[in-house]
Amino acid sequence: MSRETLIQVENLYRDYGNLHALADVNLTLKRGEVLGFLGPNGAGKSTTMQIISGNLAPTSGRVLINGFDILDEPRQAKAALGFLPEQPPLYTELTVIEYLEYCAKLNRIPRADISKAIARACERCGLGDVQKRLIANLSKGYQQRVGIAQAIIHTPEVVILDEPTVGLDPIQIREIRTLIRELGSDHSVILSTHILPEVQSTCDRVIIINRGKIALEDSLAGLDSRLRKNIITVSLGNPPELATLTALNNVDTVEQLSEGRYQLHCSDDFNPADFASSAVNNSWQLNELTPQTGSLEQMFIDITCSDNNSHQAEEVTA
């Protein structure tokens, strides 16, 4: 395992009775990365996060955190890990400071360093003004910040956040997403979510899990290029013959949409700048040149609904 790899998950399986909740899940998290772990309800996200964080044993497979096996060397592995579960483990009868002090002790932060660690986590999570308030009296958004603060109190190299914005209002969602992006500057992050825009606004790379199996893995840039469809819509005030457009370099077929408006189906080498030059040189009066892109939402639906329209993990058939 290279020093740059902070989490390595190998051939993970988890059965619940006769249900394969996870089947051969493999993933890696590199230093400095924010990884989106995306999937519909019941896909296996929480099961994967619980196993990576050492709270659930896999049926088989291996998880290494910073080179340490989470089952064989849990103390060293967990020292590098902060975890916000789907249900944050908050003691609501404590104040924010009391709770974070308790978490600091759990994480074996030396007594002399505890106040500094609490101040740093509160500052990072925007909790400065509510430190002395009872957690029970905080809004859901602030309670979620406290959950994130406990996950980073020991400045772990990796932070795992399981559905961190569920149940928040739109303003709280925006604030928590900003906080996640900020965390990405000094921690590696795995963000488990079923919300597409969350991944697009916060992550460098995405893994889509469906029915307990990894269905797609790509960088956000890679996803963008998958979504580019090589279809260009152009509008010309003084259009040439259809055959002239079809004969252009890297244009495969041309479909006329309306008077002067066309859809060009192009090869990968098509360059819109070349088309614009041809339009200027031949006085075609170019009014519009729009590349068509598919939506990530449609891709997600295509991937996750292709299997019998089921979002559930697979039942063991053997």
The residues that bridge with 65 in the sheet, in sequence order, are 7, 68
Identify the CA nearest to 87 among candidates 161, 3, 187: 161
If you ran DSSP here, which 8-state letter would residue 311 be given? Answer: -
Q: Does 39 bind ligand ATP (CB under 6 A)?
A: yes
Q: Which range binds ligand ATP by CB under 6 A, 15-23, 73-81, 108-116, 261-269?
A: 15-23
- CA–CA distance, 221 with 227 (Å, rounded to integer): 10
Asked if residues 214 and 317 have their Cβ atoms less than 8 Å apart, the reply is: no
Q: Which range binds ligand ATP by CB under 6 A, 39-47, 74-82, 112-120, 135-143?
A: 39-47
* Tokens found for residue 291: 């590349």
* C-alpha distances out from residue 195 to 33, 198, 296, 297, Å: 19, 5, 11, 10
Q: Does 21 bind ligand ATP (CB under 6 A)?
A: yes
Q: Does 45 bind ligand ATP (CB under 6 A)?
A: yes
Identify which of residues 47 and 144 has a Cβ nearer to ligand ATP in the complex.
Answer: 47
If you ran DSSP here, which 8-state letter would residue 128 be given? Answer: G
The residues that bridge with 314 in the sheet, in sequence order, are 20
- CA–CA distance, 224 with 226 (Å, rounded to integer): 5
Q: How far is the CB of 76 from ligand ATP (least distance, A)?
A: 26
Pick from 2, 16, 116, 197 the residue near ligand ATP by CB under 6 A.
Answer: 16
Q: Does 9 bind ligand ATP (CB under 6 A)?
A: no
If you ran DSSP here, which 8-state letter would residue 134 be given? Answer: B
Q: How far is the CB of 229 from ligand ATP (least distance, A)?
A: 29
Q: Which residue in the block uniquely carries the two structure tokens 């509510």?
A: 130
Q: Does 211 bind ligand ATP (CB under 6 A)?
A: no
Q: How far is the CB of 20 from ligand ATP (least distance, A)?
A: 9
- Binding residues for ligand ATP restricted to 279-318, rule: CB under 6 A: 312-313
Look at strands 68-69 and 60-65 and give their pairing. Answer: antiparallel
The residues that bridge with 171 in the sheet, in sequence order, are none
Look at strands 34-38 and 188-193 and give their pairing. Answer: parallel
* Tokens found for residue 276: 């614009």
Identify which of residues 49 and 153 has a Cβ nearer to ligand ATP in the complex.
Answer: 49
**Count of residues in contact with ligand ATP, rule CB under 6 A:** 14
Identify which of residues 87 and 225 has a Cβ nearer to ligand ATP in the complex.
Answer: 87
The residues that bridge with 315 in the sheet, in sequence order, are 19
- Site track for ligand ATP across 155-194, x = CB under 6 A: ---------------------------------------x
Identify which of residues 150 and 193 has a Cβ nearer to ligand ATP in the complex.
Answer: 193
Identify which of residues 173 and 264 has a Cβ nearer to ligand ATP in the complex.
Answer: 173
Q: Which range binds ligand ATP by CB under 6 A, 16-24, 217-225, 250-258, 269-277?
A: 16-24
- CA–CA distance, 60 with 57 (Å, rounded to integer): 8
Pick from 33, 38, 44, 165 the residue near ligand ATP by CB under 6 A.
Answer: 44
Interface residue list for ligand ATP (CB under 6 A): 16, 19, 21, 39, 41-47, 194, 312-313
